[in-house]
Structure 1
Amino acid sequence: MEALKGKDYGKPRMTYPDYEMTPSGLQYKDMREGTGDKPSQGDTLLVDWDGYTIGYYGRPFEARNKPKGSSFEGSDKDFYRFVLGQHTVIPAFEEAVATMKVGGIRRIVVPVELGYPNNDYKKQGPKPTTFAGERALAFVLGNQGMIDKTLLFDIELMRILK
C-alpha cells in the first residue's frame, strides 16, 4: 500500500515460529486441513470467520461464538460470502483462502499492509457485524499512536459455490 510506505506502525513485526510465511508477509497456520476442493478465481466462497486485534489486548472484533471444527447450526445465510479474485476482501483474507480446501480452518496473522486499505474497514470485507466489533476495529485502525495494527483471523472454508 502506497500510503503506508515509510511509516512505522507500532511494534516491529513479530514472526511466529510455528506459522508459515508467504512472500507477501502473511503468516498462517492450518488448524485443520480441509478434505474438499480448492477454490478457483471467480468462485463464490462461503466462510466462517473470527477476527482479533493482536496488538490491542487480543480484543475480538468479530467472534461468532461458534466452535470451530464442529457441526455448525445455521444456514448458508449465516456465513460470509465473497467472490475470489474480485478484491472485495482484504488482501490477506483473499491470499489465505485461495490455497485452502473446503473444511479447512486457517489462522492468519495479518500485517497492516495486507489489512484494511487506508485503515478503513468499511471499504473491504470482512466487516464486523456488531457495533462493539466496529468500535474495537475502528479504534485500532484509526489510532495514530503506536498501537500495533496487526490482526488475527480464524477462517473456515465452508463451501464453494460454482
Structure 2
Amino acid sequence: MASISATGFLPQSLTLSTATARASTRRPIACLSVQLQQQQPPSQRIERRKIMVIGAVGLVAPALYDSSNGEIEMAMAASSGFTDIPALRGKDYGKTKMRYPDYTETVSGLQYKDLRVGDGPTPKMGDTVVVDWDGYTIGYYGRIFEARNKTKGGSFVGDDKDFFKFRLGSQEVIPAFEEAITGMALGGVRRIIVPPELGYPDNDFNKSGPKPTTFSGQRALDFVLRNQGLIDKTLLFDIELLKIIPN
C-alpha cells in the first residue's frame, strides 16, 4: 500500500520509467529472493526483509523529492497573482526589504505601479478625495482584508460597501495611502506596496484609515498587525481615485 500511494505523487514520466523497470526485473529478483529464503533460517529472513524495505525507501525518497520539488514550486508560482518574494523563504520571514520589479520606489520607501493612469486633475492638500480600494496582507499568505468595487469571497457577505472619503493632509489615513493618492490623477488606479513603517501605527492599529468594512477583513488585518512574532507586515493596496472635492 505504501508503494502505491508514493507512486501517486510521482510525475508521469518517473512513474512510467519506474513501472517499466519493475516489470523488467520482477522475475530475477523474485527467483533470487526465493532461493535466499530457502537457504536462510527464519530469523535471518526477517532481518533481510527489513533491510530490503529500508533500502527501497531510501531509493524512492530522493527520486520523489527531486522530481516533485520543482513541479510544486512551479505550480505555486503559477497560481500566485503576485511576484515571488524570496525573503519569505529564509529565516528572516520577509524582514529583508524587497525591491519589486516594475514598481517605482519613492524616497520614503513606498513602491507603486499605475494599473491605470487617470486623465483628470490631481488632488491637492486640503482637498477631499473619494476612493475605492482593496487590501492584502501580501507578506503573510496574501490574505485579502478589503475587496474593491464590491464584496468578494465567502467570508465577505453583505451589500456593496460605501466608498472611502477623507481629506488630504488631515492625517486620517496611513502615510503610504496619502502619499499614493497625492500623486494620482482622477480616474487612475494605483497599486502600492506598503512597508510596516508607512502602514498602520504600532500603538493603535485602528487609529488610522483606511479600515476594513467587514468583520472578517478586520480580523484578517488585526491578526497580522497584532502579531509580535516573525510575521512580515508588508501590505498591498489597490486604490482607485473616483472623485476630488476641492477645499
TM-score range, shorter chain: 0.7 to 0.9
Alignment correspondent of 1:14: 98
Identity between Structure 1 and Structure 2 (%): 70
Greater RCO (Cα-Cα under 8 Å, separation 6 or more) = 1
1:159 aligns with 2:211: no
CA distance in 2 between partners of 1:85 and 1:137 (Å): 24
1:136 aligns with 2:184: no
1:119–1:109 distance in 2 versus 1, CA, 3 Å: farther
Secondary structure at the aligned position of 1:146 is classed as coil
Alignment correspondent of 2:65: none
CA distance in 2 between partners of 1:32 and 1:47 (Å): 14
Match for residue 35 of structure 1 among 119, 138, 149: 119
For residues 95-124 of structure 1, give each alpha carbon's deviation from its aligned partner in whole angstroms, at most 9, with x where no partner exists: 000010000000000000000011633100
Note the 1:1-150 alignment, pairs <5 A: 10-66=94-150, 78-118=162-202, 120-150=204-234
TM-score normalised by length of structure 2: 0.57
CA distance in 2 between partners of 1:115 and 1:125 (Å): 10
Q: Show structure 1 runs of 5+ residues with no match.
A: 1-7, 67-74
RMSD over aligned CA atoms reads 2.2
Structure with the greater alpha carbon radius of gyration:
2
Contact 1:54 1:151 in 2 (8 A): yes
Runs (4+) of structure 1 exceeding 2 A deviation are: 8-11
Secondary structure at the aligned position of 2:202 is classed as helix
CA distance in 1 between partners of 2:129 and 2:149 (Å): 21
CA distance in 2 between partners of 1:78 and 1:140 (Å): 25
Secondary structure at the aligned position of 1:126 is classed as coil
For residues 38-94 of structure 1, give each alpha carbon's deviation from its aligned partner in whole angstroms, at most 9, with x where no partner exists: 00000000000000001111000101354xxxxxxxx9x821000001110000000
TM-score normalised by length of structure 1: 0.85
Q: Which has the higher helix share?
A: 2
CA distance in 2 between partners of 1:124 and 1:65 (Å): 21
Secondary structure at the aligned position of 1:117 is classed as coil
1:65–1:36 distance in 2 versus 1, CA, 3 Å: closer
Contact 2:132 2:149 in 1 (8 A): no
Contact 2:133 2:149 in 1 (8 A): no
CA distance in 2 between partners of 1:9 and 1:79 (Å): 34
Q: How many residues align?
A: 148
